[in-house]
Amino acid sequence: MRRCLRCRSHELCRDHGSYRLVTRDKLRPSMWINQYVMRHYRPTNMTYSMCAKSVFHWTNETINIWSHLLGFVYFTYRQYEMNAYRIPLMGGHFQDHLVISLSLFGAQKCLIDIFVLYGLVAAAFFFYVTLLPERLSPGTFDLIGCSHQWWHVLILSAMVYWQHAGAELLSFYRMKHSSCEDVAMTSSWNSSAIS
C-alpha cells in the first residue's frame, strides 16, 4: 500500500491518521517539555483518535502518560483488594473502608493535590529543577531518561510507598486494638501520662 503525498511530505495526515514526530523548533516554546528536550515531540493539531493512538507510540511523553495510566490501574486494583479482602481479614469496620476508599480515590483523582500536600520527594525535585540529565547532553535523553520522566516515576514511587505505609499502619492498629475506642483510650492515657 502506497502512502499518500501528505503522509510522505508532512508531519501530519488527518486523512490516514498518520504523523511523524517533530523537533521542538516546529512547536511554540510553550509546547516544549523543557529547553533541553529537542526531538520526539508529537505534532500539534492531531485528532482525538490520533492522540489516543499515540499513547502506544514512543514519544518524549510516553513514560509520562504510562506512569499515570499504570498508577491509576494499580491504585484502582489496590482499592478493590483492600476493601474486598484485607480490611475484612483484619476485622475492619465501616470507618476503615471509608478512610481507605477516600484516601485511595483521592490519590487517584488528585495526584497534584497529594503532591502539594506532602511536598516533592527530594530526588524528584532535584531532577525537575536541575533539568538533569538532558542539560548535560541535549538531545540524548529525548525519549527515555529526561528529568520530567524521572519526576513522574519518582512521584509514582512515592505514592506507592505512601499507600503501602497506610495499609501497614492500619494492619498495626488492627492487631493492637480491637476498636477505635481502644485507640482513643490509649492515646488519652499516653497524653495524660506525659503531662
Quick one: what percent of the chain has pLDDT higher than 90?
Answer: 14
Cβ neighbours of 195 (radius 10 Å): 4
131's grid cell: 533539568
Asked if the structure places residue 168 within a domain, the reply is yes
d(CA 102, CA 79): 9
Overall pTM > 0.85: no
Query: What's the total number of domains in the chain?
Result: 1
C-beta of residue 48 within 8 angstroms of C-beta of residue 32: no
Asked if the structure places residue 178 within a domain, the reply is yes
Asked if the structure places residue 36 within a domain, the reply is no
Asked if the structure places residue 74 within a domain, the reply is yes
Name the residue range of residue 69's domain: 54-194
pLDDT tens digit sequence for 108-139: 666 655 554 455 567 787 888 888 899 999 99
Asked if the structure places residue 30 within a domain, the reply is no
One-letter identity of residue 82: M
Torsion of CA 27, 31, 33, 34, to 10 degrees: 70
pLDDT tens digit sequence for 61-97: 999 899 988 988 998 898 888 888 888 888 888 888 8
Buried-state track 149-179, b at ≥16 Cβ within 10 A, e below 16: bbbbbbbbebbeeebeebbeebeebbeeeee
Asked if the structure places residue 20 within a domain, the reply is no
